[in-house]
Chain A
Amino acid sequence: MSAPGTPRALLADLAMPIALGGGGLFVVLQAQGIAAAGGYSPVGPSFFPTVIGALMLLIAPLLAFGAWRSHAAHANAVQPQISEPIATAATTPRTHALGWLLAAVAIGALGIERVGFVPAMIVAFVLAAQAFPRHSTTGSVATNSDATNTSGRRGRTLLGDFAVAITFALTTWFLFTVGLGLRLPAGWLSALPGA
């Protein structure tokens, strides 16, 4: 998140209330299009959606007001914001990471039936990995991260990503198709066992 109290932060905080309000409007409008079929129940298929949509429309402005109020409070006194669940608040958000991860899932969605599970997942894995900084470990076996960002280093990391991606995709493929009998599209690799 950009520094609390800035207009950009306010806009980001308003995203969820706006989404909820938009969703409520959609639900209410759609509900009016549902024909009230003459069933036995006096409450037809459009009643519940109308109520739920109305509740969304009711809550959204209240949430927006809350976001605006906490924004105003931040503008005066910048306090550390407590995010939930407990996460280490980052100093600089890496917004570009969103792009990498969304691309990864999009590639998965586009590719899984066109080129097959294994190739699509390899690409998705590598794309998703790019969202995270190099040499970032989650635990005790931390490698000492140094700031030398030479291109050779980047190339080696990418190569490593591909190696892990290929191993991971093939292992899951075998585990789920051969091991558990799940059907996954083989695509380009129709010669694989389990296809």
Chain B
Amino acid sequence: MDSSVTLTALNALANGLLVAIAPDNLLYAFLGCLLGTAVGVLPGVGPAVTLALLLPLTAKLEPTGAMIMFAGVYYGAMYGGSTTAILLNTPGESGSIVTSLEGNRMARAGRAGPALATAAIGSFVAGLLATAIVALLAPWVVEIALLFGPAEYFALLTLAFVTVTVTLGKDRLKGAGALIAGIATGLVGIDGQTGQPRLAMGIPELFDGIEVTLVAMGLFAIGETLYAAVHEDEEESILQTGPVRMSADDWRRSWPAWLRGTAIGFPFGCIPAGGVEIPTFLSYAVEKRLSKNPEAFGHGAIEGVAGPEAANNAGVTAALVPMLALGLPVSATAAMMLAGFQQYGLQPGPLLFVTQPELVWGLIASLLVGNIVLLALNLPLVGLWVRLLGIPKRWLYAGIVVFAMLGTYGMRQSAFDLWLLLGAGLIGYGMRRSGWPLAPAVIGLILGPLAEGQLRRALAISQGQWSGLTASTISASLLGLALLIALWPILSERFRPRQTAL
């Protein structure tokens, strides 16, 4: 590694830390963590929705403060999601599905306290390590990213589309449907290059396009509420009270799992749309394999919470590398972060490191601070979050509906947007009902316009020659990789030795 780049990065991070621990910024971080956790623990509200719901809160702050508060919300929401996964067996997002496997078993056995603690400390360890790696890695990715022209970006986006379709959700076809529908939604509005309205049906409110946050709130918050109202039965949870602290044995079993989880989660987060599903499941499998008593798994093994939680947090933090350096959100949560940036007219990407270094490094540093604040806040407050879950469902979901409307209206003061929210909610319900993954739709909505812009720019540069898209080694290999991943099911089928069953 070129030591000067690393040194500059460390220097910048130190400066960022100074920004982040300024009293008012610290207060924002604290407030963000508190609100993020409070909203994130509500069942059915995953981290992405929490960010969407709380986005308007930050709208009136200056960018640095807003980003710092946002980082707090982000961590708080993540942690809140694990809390519901453990206490209620309702993972708010795909990354905490594995957490709920062992975590909820532990909670039912009266070990909710240690389960929540190992999740919190595991997330803390993973977040700390991952943020440090992000700080070291991001400048290098930026250097690579600066070599990227429109053709390379288009190839990268194509790769992201393919991996999103393949990794998010169980059914590729449904993932592809969600992605394409999202891209189509992103087309609505004035075409940036020719100034012509597209798919707007002459409705002036649609000329500016459809807000990402609106769609996210419709799909996630409203859609989830509709689904819960129609399909979910009353369920009583039987929670036993027990010791709140982790025992020495819990510690001994947890810390190797935290480190392994971090190591598994980080690389996946860096890949465009690597997602957190695979690394969390992988971490679970690894912990089960390495455990001295694998038969404890399925009955509340603490390693099964510690590892996947660390993998989840490391993956989500690592997702900031492509998000900050390339402007590529690889998860729904990162997509909401991107929406937060765009609210200030900031386009994440390599140039942001050059033009707004104090903002980028302030954000990375505030992730570190947010992580610490979160731990300090949540270990004592676990009891409070548990009590929050006692809110009757009807008031909880009614509050979510009102909050989603507030967030939507607050963006552009347009009642028309509330009708769009209604439509997005209905579509979200339909998707949930039919088992379509939601995240590809949001990612398509964000990346679709980028992909189109880069494609048209690339073709303008190559004067209309389609071969221009594969002219450079980088773009050719990225496109090749995308093709390989897309065709993988067919290829693996062909080369697999014939099996008798199936």
Q: Please report A residues at the B interface, Cβ cutoff 8 Å.
A: 1, 12-13, 15-17, 19-20, 23-24, 26-27, 30-31, 34-35, 37, 39-45, 47-49, 52-53, 55-56, 59-60, 62-63, 66-67, 82-91, 93-95, 97-98, 100-102, 104-106, 108-110, 112-113, 117, 121, 124-126, 128-142, 145, 161, 164-165, 168-169, 172, 176, 180-184
B395: Cβ under 8 A from any A Cβ: yes
Q: Mark B190-202, 1 if CB is under 8 A from A, else 0.
A: 0101101011010
Q: Quick check: A85 and B389 within 8 Å, CB to CB?
A: no
- Interface, chain B (partner A; CB < 8 A): 43, 56-57, 59-60, 87-91, 93-94, 97, 100, 169-171, 173-174, 176-177, 180-181, 183-184, 187, 191, 193-194, 196, 198-199, 201, 222, 225-237, 239, 386-399, 401-403, 405-406, 409-410, 413, 415-416, 418-419, 421-422, 425-427, 429-437, 448, 452, 455-457, 459-460, 463-464
- Which 10 A-B pairs have CB atoms at the shortest separation, nearest pair first? A139-B389, A141-B390, A42-B464, A109-B418, A97-B229, A132-B394, A128-B398, A41-B460, A131-B229, A129-B394
A137's nearest neighbour on chain B, judged by CB, is B392
User: What is the bound-complex CA distance between A54 and B386, given in angstroms?
Assistant: 49
Contact of A15 among B173, B419, B430 (CB under 8 A): B430
A34-B198, A63-B174 known; A88 and B233 CB under 8 Å? yes
Inter-subunit contact B418/A83 (CB<8 Å): no
Query: In the complex the two chains form, is A140's CB within 8 Å of B60's CB?
Result: no
* 23 chain-A/chain-B pairs, Cβ below 8 angstroms: A16-B431, A30-B198, A30-B201, A37-B196, A43-B464, A48-B456, A87-B90, A90-B231, A93-B230, A97-B230, A98-B230, A105-B421, A105-B422, A108-B402, A109-B418, A112-B418, A121-B406, A128-B398, A128-B402, A132-B398, A134-B394, A140-B389, A142-B390
User: What is the minimal beta-carbon distance from A134 to any residue of chain B, in angstroms?
Assistant: 7
| Alpha-carbon distance between A54 and B213 when the two chains are bound, in angstroms | 27
| Contact A105 to B234, CB < 8 A, known contacts A67-B434, A85-B94, A182-B56 | no
Whether the Cβ atoms of B97 and A145 lie closer than 8 Å is no
> In the bound complex, how far is the Cα of B431 from the Cα of A55, in angstroms?
18
CA distance A41 to B194 in the complex (A): 10
Q: Hey, which chain B residues are within 8 Å of A110, CB to CB? A: 415
Given A41-B193, A161-B394, A180-B60; A124-B402 close (CB under 8 Å): yes
Point out the residues of chain B lying under 8 angstroms from A17, CB to CB.
177
Give every chain A residue within 8 A of B191 (Cβ-Cβ): 34, 45
**Chain A residue at smallest Cβ distance from B452:** A48
A97 CB contacts on chain B under 8 angstroms: 226, 229-230
CA distance A137 to B238 in the complex (A): 12
Q: Would A124 and B395 count as touching, CB distance under 8 A? A: no
| Nearest CB of B to A6, in Å | 15
CA distance A39 to B459 in the complex (A): 12
Given A59-B173, A132-B394, A139-B386: A172 in contact with B402 (beta carbons within 8 A): yes
* Of the residues A44, A98, A168, contact of B402 by C-beta under 8 Å: A168
| CB neighbours of B199 from chain A (8 A) | 26-27, 30-31, 49
A29 to chain B, nearest CB (A): 10
In the complex, what's the smallest C-beta–C-beta distance from B450 to chain A, in angstroms?
12
Contact flag A165-B430 (CB < 8 Å), given A112-B409, A182-B59, A184-B410:
no
Residues in B neighbouring A89, C-beta threshold 8 A: 231
Partner of A131, one of B176, B394, B429, B436: B394
Closest-by-CB residue of B relative to A124 is B402
Q: Are B181 and A56 in contact (CB under 8 A)?
A: yes
Contacts of A15 in B (CB 8 A): 430, 433-434
- Mostly helix, strand, loop or mixed at chain B's interface? helix
Cβ-neighbour of A172 out of B88, B239, B406, B413 (below 8 A): B406
Minimum CB–CB distance for A74 against chain B, Å:
13
Tell me whether B232 and A90 are in contact (CB under 8 A).
yes
With A40-B460, A48-B187, A139-B88 given, is the CB distance from A87 to B410 under 8 Å? no
Chain B residue nearest to A59 (CB atoms) is: B177
CB of A85 within 8 A of CB of B97, answer yes
Q: How far is the CA of A60 from the CA of B399 in the complex (A)?
A: 35
Contacts of B228 in A (CB 8 A): 87
Chain A contacts for B403, CB-based, 8 A: 172
Q: Is the CB of A63 within 8 A of B437?
A: no
Residues of B within 8 A of A82 (CB): 435
Which residue of B225, B227, B234 has the most chain A CB atoms within 10 A of its CB atom? Answer: B234
Of the candidates A34, A44, A106, A140, the one whose C-beta lies within 8 Å of that of B237 is: A140
**Assembled-state Cα–Cα distance A40/B193 (Å):** 10
Task: Give bound CA distance, A180 to B235, whole Å.
Answer: 37
**Which among B196, B239, B392 has the highest number of chain A CB atoms within 10 Å?**
B392
The residue that B100 contacts in the complex, of A86, A90, A137, with Cβ under 8 A, is A86
The docked-state distance in angstroms from the alpha carbon of A20 to that of B448 is 17
What residue in chain B is nearest A82 (Cβ atoms)? B435
Q: Which residues of B contact A145 (CB under 8 A)?
A: 234
Quote the shortest CB–CB distance from B438 to chain A (angstroms): 9
Tell whether, in the assembled complex, residue A112 and residue B193 are in contact, meaning their CB atoms are under 8 Å apart.
Answer: no
Q: Which chain B residue shows the least CB distance to A45? A: B191
Which of B57, B399, B430 is the one whose CB lies under 8 Å from A180?
A: B57
CB distance from B68 to the nearest CB of A (A): 16
Given A105-B422, A137-B390, A139-B386, are A12 and B437 neighbors across the interface (CB < 8 Å)?
no
Q: What is the bound-complex CA distance between A172 and B401, given in angstroms? A: 13
Closest to A145 in B: B234
Contact A129 B405 (CB under 8 A): no
